[in-house]
């Protein structure tokens, strides 16, 4: 039985693990922690959690995982949540002065702290009920927990799964949206094998995004197992 895996370098990996363990009952997922290059190569899928994107990139570099991760992303399913979504983006604005190391993989441009940052008068963290097409029970809104989240600023991309932010109060939108298809309101999307959520599904008890990633991105037909990247102490 091949191991289907999942990774976390820093941040909310334990919460993802809990969600996957709950899902395991339904989908035979085996969530384990991975901390080496060898572990990564046993992986069939990967979650890059929320946390701090520059820290995750730095830890990936220090542990020799940066290039292996970039290669992994070329051919394997990867889901990035919040900081992980930043890392999967092709470009980032609002990074620190010398820019920011990204892994890439999804053709989206993202604004780091696009909803406001700490010390800013804008509200940077909030919850919003999201309408997400493509999820199981999609008529039930998904509670999006946004914690100093990035905001997408991409022009046209093919969106296989999107969450609408139409329920957000207008003052929380990064910029006034011109129409309901405005890509700046994208908070979740799937592009090919990759899933990106700018909020934290692992902080809810709702496993629908984990289920979605398992079913649609990792192994549409097989039972799945996952592994985790263990946190590397900073």
Q: Which residue has the tokens 């909020």?
A: 199
Burial 194-218 (b: 16+ CB within 10 A, else e): bbbbbbbbbbbebbbbbbbbbebbb
Question: Cα separation of 99 and 95, whole Å?
Answer: 5
Minimal distance, residue 83 CB to ligand GLN, in Å: 3
Report the residue number, 29 or 102, with the smaller CB distance to ligand GLN: 102
Catalytic residue of the set 16, 200, 210, 217: 200
CA dihedral 162, 101, 10, 36 (to 10 degrees): 110
Minimal distance, residue 86 CB to ligand GLN, in Å: 5
Report the residue number, 35 or 148, with the smaller CB distance to ligand GLN: 148
CA 5 to chain centre: 15
Minimal distance, residue 112 CB to ligand GLN, in Å: 5
Examine the residue annotation and report whether 202 is marked as an active-site residue of this protein. yes
What H or E segment, with its residue span, contains residue 78? strand 78-81
Residues that bind ligand GLN (CB under 6 A): 50-53, 82-83, 86, 112-113, 147-148
Report the residue number, 202 or 225, with the smaller CB distance to ligand GLN: 202
Examine the residue annotation and report whether 217 is marked as an active-site residue of this protein. no
Examine the residue annotation and report whether 82 is marked as an active-site residue of this protein. yes
Q: Catalytic residues, which ones?
A: 82, 200, 202
């Amino acid at each position: 039985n091949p191991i289907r895996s999942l990774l976390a370098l820093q941040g909310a990996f334990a919460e993802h693990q809990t969600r996957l363990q709950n899902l395991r009952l339904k989908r035979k997922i085996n969530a384990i922690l991975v901390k080496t290059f060898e572990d990564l190569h046993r992986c069939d899928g990967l979650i890059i959690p929320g946390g701090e994107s520059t820290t995750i990139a730095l830890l990936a570099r220090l542990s020799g995982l940066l290039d292996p991760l970039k290669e992994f992303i070329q051919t394997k399913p990867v889901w990035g949540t919040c900081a992980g979504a930043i890392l999967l983006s092709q470009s980032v604005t609002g990074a620190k002065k010398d820019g920011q190391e990204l892994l890439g993989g999804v053709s989206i441009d993202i604004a780091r702290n696009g909803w406001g940052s700490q010390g800013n008068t804008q509200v940077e963290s909030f919850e919003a009920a999201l309408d997400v097409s493509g999820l199981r029970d999609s008529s039930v809104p998904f509670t999006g927990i946004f914690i100093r989240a990035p905001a997408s600023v991409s022009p046209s991309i093919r969106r296989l799964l999107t969450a609408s932010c139409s329920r957000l109060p207008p003052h929380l939108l990064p910029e006034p949206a011109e129409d309901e298809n405005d890509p700046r309101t994208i908070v979740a999307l799937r592009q090919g094998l990759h899933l990106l959520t700018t909020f934290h599904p692992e902080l809810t008890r709702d496993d629908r995004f984990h289920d979605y990633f398992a079913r649609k991105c990792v192994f549409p037909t097989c039972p799945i197992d996952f592994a985790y990247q263990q946190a590397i102490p900073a």
